[in-house]
Structure 1
Amino acid sequence: MTKKLLTLTLGLSGSAIAAALVLPAIAQESLLPEGFGSPPETPAPRPAPAPTATPTPSQGTPPASGSVAPPAVTPTVQAGDSDDGEDEEEVEPGTLKYDLPPGTRRKLTRVGPLTPDTGGLVPDALGVRGQYAAAIMRHTNGNLASRWGQILLRRALASALDTPSTINGADLAADRAALLLRMGESIAARMVVQSVDYDRASPRLVQVAQQSYLATADPAGMCPYVPAGLAHGDEHTWRLASGICAGLSGEAGPAGWAISRVRSSGRIKNFDVLIAERVLGATGAGRRSTTIEWTNVDRLTSWRFGMATATAVEVPAELRAAAPDYMRSWTVLAPMSEMADRVAAAPTAAARGVLSSDAYVSLLSAASEVAEPSAELADQVALLRTAHAGETGADRYAAMESLWSGATGAAQSYAALVATARAAAGVPTSADVDDDPWQLLGSMLAGGYDRNAAAWAPKLAAGSRAWGVLAVGAPRPLGGTDAGAIGNFAGDDDSADSLRSKFLLAGLSGLGRIDAGEAASAARSLNADLGKQTRWTRAIMAAAERREPAMVALIAAAGMQGEWAKVPPYHLYYIVRALREVGLEAEARMIAAEALVRV
Structure 2
Amino acid sequence: MTKKLLTLTLALSGTAMAAALVLPALAQESLLPEGFGNPSDTPAPKPSPTPSSSPTATPKSPTPSSTSPVPGVVPPAVTATVADVTSEEGSETGDEEEVASGGLKYDLPPGARRLLSRIGPLTPETGGLAPDAFGVRGQYAAAIMRKTNGALASRWGQILLRRALSSAIDTPDTINGADLAADRAGLLLRMGESTAARWIVQSVDYDRASPRLVQVAQQTFLANADPAGLCPYVPAGLAHGEEQSWRLASAICAGLSGEAGPAGWAIGRVRSSGKISNFDILLAERVLGATGAGRRSTTIEWDKVDRLTSWRFGMATATAIDIPAALRAGEPAYMRGWTVLAPMTDMANRIAAAPDAAARGVLSSEAYVSLLSAASSEEEPPEAIAAQLGELRDAFGSATGTERYAAMQGLWAAGSTPAQRYAALVATARAAAGLPTGTDVGSDPWQLMGSMLAAGYDANALAWVQKLDVGSRAWGVMAVGSPRALNGVSAGSISNFSGNDDSADYLRSKFLVAGLAGLGRLDAGQAASAAGDLDMTLGKQTRWSRAIMAAAERREPGMVALIAAAGMQGDWSKIPPYHLYYITRALRDVGLEAEARMIAAEALVRV
TM-score range, shorter chain: 0.7 to 0.9
Shift of 1:11: 6.7
Select which of 46, 59, 68 maps to 2:53.
59
Cα drift, residue 535 of structure 1: 0.3
For the Cα contact (< 8 Å) 2:194–2:224, is it kept in 1? yes
Partner of 2:500: 492
Preserved contact between residue 4 and residue 282 of structure 1 (Cα < 8 Å): no
Q: Share of identical aligned residues, percent?
A: 77
1:11–1:309: 8 Å Cα contact kept in structure 2? Answer: no
Per the alignment, residue 34 of structure 1 pairs with none
Number of aligned residues:
530
Q: What is the CA deviation profile of residues 430-474 of structure 1, one whole-angstrom value per residue up to 9, with x for unaligned ones?
A: 101121000000000001000000111100111100000000001
Q: For the Cα contact (< 8 Å) 2:13–2:228, is it kept in 1? A: no
Q: CA RMSD in A?
A: 1.4
Counterpart of 1:227? 235
Q: Deviations over 1:206-242 (max 9, x none)?
A: 0111111000000000000000000000010100000
Which residue in the other structure is 1:433 paired with?
Answer: 441
How far residue 365 of structure 1 moved from its aligned partner, in angstroms, is 1.1
Deviations 1:240-295 (A, max 9, x none): 00000000000010010011110100001000000000001100011001000111
Q: Is the 8 A contact 1:10 1:310 kept in 2?
A: no
Aligned to 2:31: none
2 CA distance for matches of 1:306 and 1:467? 46
Shift of 1:56: 1.3
The CA distance in 2 between the partners of 1:203 and 1:481, in whole Å, is 54
Please report how far the alpha carbon of residue 2 of structure 1 lies from its aligned counterpart in structure 2 after TM superposition.
Answer: 2.9
Note closer, same or farther for the CA distance 1:297–1:11 as it changes in structure 2 (3 Å cut): farther
Contact in 1 for aligned 2:198/2:221 (Cα 8 Å): yes
CA distance in 1, matches of 2:333, 2:511: 26
Say which SS state the counterpart of residue 304 (structure 2) adopts. Answer: coil
Distance 2:408 2:473 in 1: 18
Supply the distance in 2 between the matched residues of 1:439 and 1:97 (Cα, whole angstroms).
59
Q: Which residue of 2 aligns with 1:137?
A: 145
For residue 512 of structure 1, report the CA deviation from its aligned partner.
0.2
1:532 Cα deviation after fit: 0.2
* Contact map agreement 1:7 1:336 (CA 8 A) in 2: no
Q: Is the 8 A contact 1:137 1:554 kept in 2?
A: yes
CA distance in 2, matches of 1:506, 1:55: 20
Contact 1:11 1:217 in 2 (8 A): no
Q: Do residues 574 (structure 1) and 582 (structure 2) align?
A: yes
User: Which residue number in structure 2 is paired with residue 2 of structure 1?
Assistant: 2
Q: 1:159-198, aligned counterparts within 5 Å?
A: 159-198=167-206
**Match for 1:546 among 539, 548, 554?**
554
> Superposed, which structure 2 residues align to 1:527-566 within 5 Å?
527-566=535-574
Q: Is the 8 A contact 1:53 1:448 kept in 2?
A: yes
AA aligned opposite 2:230? M
Partner of 1:371: 379
Return the alpha-carbon distance in structure 1 between the equivalents of residues 13 and 149 of structure 2: 28
- Residues 424-503 of structure 1: pairs in structure 2 closer than 5 A: 424-503=432-511
Aligned 8 A contact 2:49 2:595 in 1: no
Question: Where do residues 265-280 of structure 1 align in structure 2 (5 Å cutoff)?
Answer: 265-280=273-288
Task: Tell me the secondary structure at the aligned position of residue 287 of structure 1.
Answer: coil
Alpha-carbon deviation of 1:7?
A: 4.8
Choose from 322, 335, 347 the match for 1:327. Answer: 335
Cα displacement (A) at 1:59:
1.4
Matched residue type, 1:146? S
Write the letter of the residue equivalent to 1:5: L
CA distance in 1, matches of 2:283, 2:343: 20
Q: Which amino acid aligns with 2:368?
A: Y
Q: Which amino acid aligns with 2:2?
A: T
Q: Provide the C-alpha distance between the structure 1 equivalents of 2:205 and 2:475, rounded to a whole number of angstroms.
A: 51
CA contact (8 A) 2:123 2:168 kept: yes
For the 8 Å contact 1:12–1:217, the answer to whether it is kept is no
Q: Look up the match of 1:596.
A: 604
- What is the deviation of 1:102? 1.4
**Which whole-Å CA distance do the structure 1 matches of 2:122 and 2:252 have between them?**
32
Cα 1:447–1:389 shift into 2, 3 Å? same
Deviation of 1:53 after TM superposition, in Å, equals 2.8
CA positional deviation for 1:428:
1.1
In the aligned structure 1, how far is the partner of 2:135 from the partner of 2:172? 7
- Structure 2 residues not aligned, in runs of 5+: 15-43, 56-103
Alpha carbons of 1:456 and 1:167: their partners in 2 closer, same or farther (altered >3 Å)? same
What amino acid is the match of 1:175?
D
Unpaired segments of 5 or more residues in structure 1? 15-46, 62-95
Q: SS state of the match for residue 50, structure 2?
A: coil
Deviation at 1:3?
A: 3.3
Contact kept in structure 1, 2:142 and 2:183, CA below 8 Å: yes
Question: Partner of 2:216 in structure 1?
Answer: 208
Residue 257 of structure 1 corresponds to 265
After superposition, the Cα gap between the structure-2 partners of 1:98 and 1:376, relative to the gap in structure 1 and judged at 3 Å, is farther
Q: TM-score, normalised by structure 2?
A: 0.86
Letter in 1 for 2:569: Q
Distance 2:151 2:515 in 1: 22
Q: Which residue of 1 aligns with 2:71?
A: none
Q: CA deviation at 1:5?
A: 2.5
Alpha-carbon distance in structure 2 between the residues aligned to 1:198 and 1:568? 42
- The one-letter code of the counterpart of 2:177 is G
- Structure-1 separation of matches of 2:474 and 2:292: 60
- Cα contact 1:97–1:224 (8 A) shared by 2: no
Please give the alpha-carbon distance, in whole angstroms, between the structure 2 residues aligned to 1:463 and 1:260. 70
Structure 2 counterpart of 1:298, from 293, 306, 310: 306
CA distance, structure 2, for counterparts of residue 494 and residue 9 of structure 1: 56
Match of residue 508 from structure 1? 516
Equivalent residue, structure 1, for 2:248: 240
Q: Map residues 350-361 of structure 1 onto 2, 5 A cutoff.
A: 350-361=358-369
Aligned match for 2:166, one of 136, 158, 165: 158
Deviation, 1:193, is 0.2
Measured in 2, the distance between the counterparts of 1:474 and 1:10 equals: 50
Cα-to-partner distance string for 1:150-193 (whole Å, 9 max, x where unaligned): 00000000000000111110000000000000000000000100
Deviation for aligned residue 1:12: 4.3
Q: Which residue of 1 aligns with 2:80?
A: none
Counterpart contact for 1:4–1:311, Cα < 8 Å? yes
Q: CA separation of 1:12/1:418 partners in 2, compared to 1, >3 Å: closer, same or farther?
A: farther
**Kept in 2: contact 1:13–1:218 (CA 8 A):** no
In 1, Cα distance between equivalents of 2:561 and 2:135: 12
Offset from partner CA, 1:94-130 (integer Å, 9 cap, x none): xx98522212211101111111111110000000111
Deviation at 1:10, TM superposition (A): 7.9
Structure 1 residues 419 and 219: CA distance shift in structure 2, 3 A: same
CA distance in 2, matches of 1:249, 1:119: 38
Letter in 2 for 1:60: S
Distance 2:264 2:158 in 1: 43
**What amino acid maps onto 2:53 in structure 1?**
Q
